[in-house]
Structure 1
Amino acid sequence: MIYLDYQATTPLAPEALDAMLPWLRDGYANPHSAHAAGRKAKAAVEFARDQVAALLPSGGRVVFTSGATEALNWAIKGTTGEMMTLATEHAAVLDTVHAESRAGRNQTVLSVDRDGLVDLPMLRAATWPDTGVVAAMLVNNEIGVVQPIAEMAEVAHSVGALLLCDAVQGYGRVPIPEGCDLIAISAHKIYGPKGIGALWIRDGVALEPLLHGGDQEGGRSGTLSPALCAGFGRAAAMMAERREVDAAHIERLWALATDRLGRGWHINGSTQYRYHGNLNIRRDGLDVARLMSDLRDIAFSAGSACASGSGRSSHVLRALGLSEAQARSSIRLGFGRYTTAAELTEAIDRIIAAADAQQIMGGIAA
């Protein structure tokens, strides 16, 4: 299997697994218990919290959650005032905003340009004193476009609103601006375990609880898993340690892929403001379902894994102004730390060959 679906999830780093194993096997105490074993487990949790925080701005605290979906839900539902976001956001933001809207809270969903970028003058015109929170992704999960989060934060702050940054795809890869007030992240997108994420909350920002119970995390209730925390922490530390090596590897893979694709393929989204580990491409007339069936030993995507099976084309690609046919003829290739040049070369060549075969068969059928 050639794995090219790094935006959906990344492989678990061996170092993260090693950090988890002692807490899965022997360190089973509740980290919220007062006895010695509990205090030892709590120390592991706090060490991991510091590792995760090292890649985030100063002046805030890391609260562990079950994942980024919970973090985003909490950040939006825990605030007040009008909600503002972009049409290309993840369903965890858009669906939460819509749910809050049905409960009577005002929402504004701004369009983006053909590159997938926010129109800052439009954002400035739309924000007003009743705006409570502006939510935007740092790196888009489907097309890899990097939004101007620092500038968006300035606009939000000019009317007293908070800036919520969905940094799931950018954490550890793209610098996170200091101007953010809330930042959602997830372990399994940085070679850590599934089932754990975090919400970074700027000092002085107060959120209404999403979950009620023991308030173990100071605003978030629920027993933490030392194993998941340890895996998340070690994965975050590896992102810091390998930042330059990983970035150089991604640039080599991006150059290889884009050089090899050739004519007939178009990159969706900005090529200038983009994380290069995400290559979303289209070829007119491509039958993506057939392509995926013909290449079952290559793992790639037709869009967000969270929306797969819905039968709908990508809302992100439609927001760029692509037609339904263009959106349905697009695929997403995601690569990272463990992708080799040989694997990517083979995958690209086989994707091109399969697409060419479709075109030939289509011509014969016509």
Structure 2
Amino acid sequence: MGIPNEEAIKQFRSLMEEVDDEQLKNTFKNMHQGYPTETLVRFLKARDCNVAKAHKMLVDCLQWRIQNEIDQILAKPIIPVDLYREVRDSQLIGLSGYSKEGLPVIALGVGLSTFDKASVHYYVQSHIQMNEYRDRVVLPSATKKRGRYIGACLKVLDMTGLKLSALNQIKLLSVISTIDDLNYPEKTDTYYVVNAPYVFSACWKVVKPLVQERTRRKIQVLQGCGRDELLKIMDYGSLPHFCRREGSGSSRHCGNGNTDNCFSLDHAFHQQFYDYIKQQASLMESVSLIRQGSVHVNIPEPDPKDAMITKTIETEFHKLENQNGLSKSLNGLKVGL
């Protein structure tokens, strides 16, 4: 049930044409950016081509967008800029370039993201803004440049620095994952995992069988920094800075200064991104109306299967933590003897 057939798409389209709520229609237009059929296909894929389930998922998504004013979120900058810089320094994500096929390459510093410089609401706001900027600006620009529809990106996940202490971040990561799964399905073509330490490998071995086959096929765990494999699908200039040489160390600081570090606010992508949000706020004359505070977004209930995966990760981390503690105790005993 991988690719929706024409009949399923036709049925789904008919159901959406029956929607007479103007707000739902408007937010759907803002979401599909001129490609309604491709959007329907994404939701069908996310629900294994079940039209009724895909329709419910999409309507729930549109209602979530209306209730949380997602269409206006790109006009709500995180201010002051020093606070936004702290968010960027602790939530490592950036656009490093494009694949040879024209897909945006999104880099994520999973292992070194600390999420400890601001409230949860700021991180959720920042993540949704990144999603919306990708969908409303980056992907349409890539589509125009390539002359064909580009509706998804590639993600390179750097596990450098991943430790058992990351257990403290699982709740927030689960929230972000739930938002993506329910409201931005099928926006990632492939996930490339690089610089994976033992902690990741041990957890992935247990979690992998629980992940849906559709998602599992998208995940590729590469050797080391993944440079040689990634160079088959993108040019050197589009490689995330942490993939450019083996043993590059911290994904936070390697590269030739902050302008090469796609996580940094000084990187061209983030400068353009933040400037865009400020411009949108100015156009809406909303800057003076924004109280200094985060945007609070309702978090949808996660799919029971996803909740089970999160619980499994927590359990596995606790096991590793206990094993690590026992190992330290035994080492200490040896030293004492």
Indicate whether the TM-score tops 0.5.
no
Bigger relative contact order, structure 1 or 2 (CA pairs below 8 A, ≥6 apart): 1
TM-score normalised to structure 2 length: 0.24
Higher helix share: 2
TM-score normalised to structure 1 length: 0.22
Higher strand share: 1
